[in-house]
């Protein structure tokens, strides 16, 4: 069963701008959505890890999703972060996001619970059966404590409502094994900015990116060059941006990207506890690397 990709190219895992008092800054958020689309991004992922979905209240989470979908107004593919370690809660949020007009739902593996592989199959099947939009399975074992194994992807791949993978396990051998097992039944997206070209070389269709918050056009260009057959140029751009990518992950995401976006004028450098602001020495290095890319930062 071949499935049409939700998007091809770069999708920005968008930050959620906040004011000094910790509330969501919708004025900045709206302008940011417009700018990302103007810069040529293929899709936006709202209220995921980078969007601090885990520290938004339920009411805030839904309002952020509603606002973003309304502001984008069909101009790009929209993906809603609706994962939870409470499956019933994930279904509730996912259903509401479907009503806002999202094209897909990004559903992270249940964190803390450390489900078995059989538990992951049952969880994802249950969510997929309950909603009207396709799921992109989000695999990030470094944060959740559980990895989706290739055989588990294979067990899920024929569900008509399970469309893709955001793969952030960092293990290329496992990724190759997954592709060998699922083929075109699931669309593969890189969940790591330092592995965009390697995953594209395995048939991936793009990246769900943190980097593209600050450099949407260049992140998109990595994918576009690859799709045009300009593999060497794509790889060269991936390598050129690697120091900046590493700086964006020198502290836990989204601490660095929030600092970088604030330096570009996209709201205040505010993250919610338990996250704290970037260490000054790390920030100085990040800002220097952003300046090297021609970004106007303070």
Which tokens belong to 60? 């805030």
Residue 84 φ/ψ, nearest 5 degrees: -160, 160
Among this protein's residues, is 124 annotated catalytic? no
Helix, coil or strand: residue 103? coil
Among this protein's residues, is 114 annotated catalytic? no
CA separation for the pair 102, 136 (Å, rounded): 12
CA separation for the pair 285, 148 (Å, rounded): 34
User: In sequence order, what are the beta bridge partners of 13?
Assistant: 45
Which tokens belong to 259? 């600092």
Eight-class DSSP state of 86: S
Strand blocks (E) in 168-270: 187-190, 206-209
Question: Choosing from 102, 124, 133, 138, which is the catalytic residue?
Answer: 138
Chain-centre distance for alpha carbon 285:
24
> What would you report as the CA-atom Rg of the chain, rounded to the nearest whole angstrom?
18
Question: Choosing from 124, 133, 153, 166, which is the catalytic residue?
Answer: 166
Catalytic residues: 138, 166
């Amino acid at each position: 069963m071949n499935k049409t990709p939700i998007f091809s190219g770069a999708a920005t895992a968008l930050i959620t701008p906040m004011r000094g008092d910790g509330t969501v800054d919708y004025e900045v958020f709206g302008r940011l959505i417009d700018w990302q689309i103007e810069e040529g991004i293929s899709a936006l992922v709202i209220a995921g890890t980078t969007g601090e979905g885990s520290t938004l209240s339920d009411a805030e989470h839904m309002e952020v999703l509603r606002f973003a979908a309304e502001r984008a107004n069909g101009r790009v593919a929209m993906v809603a972060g609706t994962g939870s370690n409470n499956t019933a809660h994930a279904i509730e949020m996912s259903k509401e996001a479907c009503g806002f007009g999202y094209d897909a739902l990004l559903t992270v593996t249940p964190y803390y619970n450390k489900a078995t592989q059989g538990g992951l199959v049952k969880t994802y099947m249950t969510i997929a059966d309950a909603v009207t939009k396709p799921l992109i399975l989000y695999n990030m074992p470094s944060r959740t404590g559980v990895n989706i194994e290739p055989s588990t992807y294979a067990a899920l791949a024929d569900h008509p409502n399970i469309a893709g993978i955001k793969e952030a396990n960092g293990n290329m051998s496992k990724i190759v094994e997954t592709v060998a097992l699922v083929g075109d039944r699931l669309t593969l997206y890189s969940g790591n900015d330092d592995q965009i070209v390697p995953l594209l070389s395995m048939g991936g269709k793009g990246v769900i990116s943190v980097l593209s918050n600050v450099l949407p056009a260049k992140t998109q260009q990595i994918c576009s060059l690859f799709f045009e057959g300009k593999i060497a140029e794509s790889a060269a751009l991936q390598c050129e941006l690697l120091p900046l990518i590493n700086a964006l992950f020198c502290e836990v995401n989204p601490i660095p990207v929030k600092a970088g976006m604030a330096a570009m004028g996209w709201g205040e450098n505010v993250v919610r506890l338990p996250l704290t602001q970037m260490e000054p020495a790390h920030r100085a290095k990040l800002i220097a690397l952003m300046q090297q890319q021609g970004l106007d930062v303070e």
